[in-house]
Amino acid sequence: GGSHLPDITVITPVFHEGKVIFFVASRGHHADIGGIAPGSMPPHSTCLEDEGAMIIAFKLVKDGTFDEKGITEILQSPGKIPGNTGTRNLRDNLSDLRAQVAANQSGIRLLHELVKEYGLRQVDAYMKFIQCNAEACVRAMLREFAEKNGNRAHAIDHMDDGTPIELTIDIDKETGDAVFDFSGTGPQVLGNVNAPPAVTYSAVIYSLRSLVGQDIPLNEGCLAPIEFKIPKYCLLNPSDDAGVVGGNVLTSQRVVDVVLKAFKACAASQGCMNNLTFGDKKFGYYETIAGGAGAGPNWHGRSGVHTHCTNTRITDP
């Protein structure tokens, strides 16, 4: 799902004998896609159109041809809105998108090599095995937690403006199923720290993998035991036109803090990616700055480090 507008995802189908067998995807944060401020991370945006080009779905490559004209029109479209600007660095956008397309082609090539070597049936089976293993690991962790701490966990923390993020987790000790209920979370705000549900899903899957005592690759199986309840129009499930650019980089950190607090895993981080953005009409730069990390049962807190969802290791463990 979507996170915020600068994160553009390129998805490519993988064909085998005329049928789609997989999809590959690459997501890249683009340094500027237009909006009311350089870097497309405006601190004072109050609606989605303030934050840059809005791409719902667009066919980027057709018959082997990169549609430069079409994507350029989309990236420049915010400039049609009074007080707004199209992308400030179209050349970089186009280069980065071509790189994402190339990355997908590399993924397709590697998948074809796997299928050629092992056969589609075996590759498809192991795709499912990986997800089933992740699901089993998460269920085991949830059952173990429930045995030690009871079948209900609860935590609440707050944004800087006092908006609560509240989580109640109900765990079935027998099956390892769990309901993550964010009822009690404050309403969406006239600002940009609202977060689409995909941000909460990402924060939860990250937290679950951190809590599992085994190395498991990132995959959807981690969320198979989880049912989400996120009230409509709350901070974590806002309207389609709400500002969200800060939700991906600030609220996401606080959601992780709340999940880890509910599991009694560690103290909160600084709860923000500490974003710095600057530029002019032709240039936009954006970066995150380190902050504090919370202490845990067997370690002290740390200062001046990147934590959780910010610029930590780019490679998945």
Q: What is the pLDDT of residues 236-290, one digit of tens each?
A: 999 999 999 999 889 999 999 999 999 999 999 988 888 887 888 777 777 888 8
Q: Are 302 and 295 in contact (CB under 8 A)?
A: no
Closest CA to 235 of 223, 222, 244, 226: 244
Strands of the chain (E only): list them: 7-16, 19-29, 61-62, 65-66, 152-158, 164-171, 178-181, 226-229, 275-280, 283-288, 291-293, 302-305
Residue 100 structure tokens: 């994402």
Low-confidence ranges of the chain (pLDDT < 50): 317
Residue-wise over 249-284: b if at least 16 C-beta within 10 A, else e?
bbbbbbbbbbbbbbbeebebbbbbbbbebebeeeeb
Q: Which long-range contacts (CB under 8 A, 24 or more apart) does 161-166 make?
A: 161/189, 162/186, 163/187, 163/189, 163/193, 163/235, 165/235, 165/236, 165/251, 165/254, 165/255, 165/258, 166/258
Could you give the 3-state DSSP secondary structure of residue 229?
A: strand
Query: Would you tell me how many other CB atoms lie within 10 Å of the CB of residue 15?
Result: 12
pTM (predicted TM-score): 0.91
End-to-end CA distance of the chain: give it in Å, rounded: 22
CB atoms inside a 10 Å sphere around CB 118: 13
CB 10 within 8 A of CB 29: no
- Report pLDDT for 312: 55
- pLDDT for 316: 52
Contact 170, 189 (CB under 8 A): no
Reference 310, options 284, 295, 291, 282; nearest CA is 291
pLDDT at 282: 77
Strands 178-181 and 226-229 come out as: parallel
- Residue 317 has a pLDDT of 47
Q: What is the pLDDT of residues 109-139, one digit of tens each?
A: 999 999 999 999 999 999 999 999 999 999 9
Q: What is the DSSP track for 48-77?
A: GGGGS---S----EETTEE-HHHHHHHHHG
SS3 content of the chain, % helix, strand, coil (to 5): 35, 25, 40
The interaxial angle of helices 197-211 and 120-149, nearest 10 deg, is 80
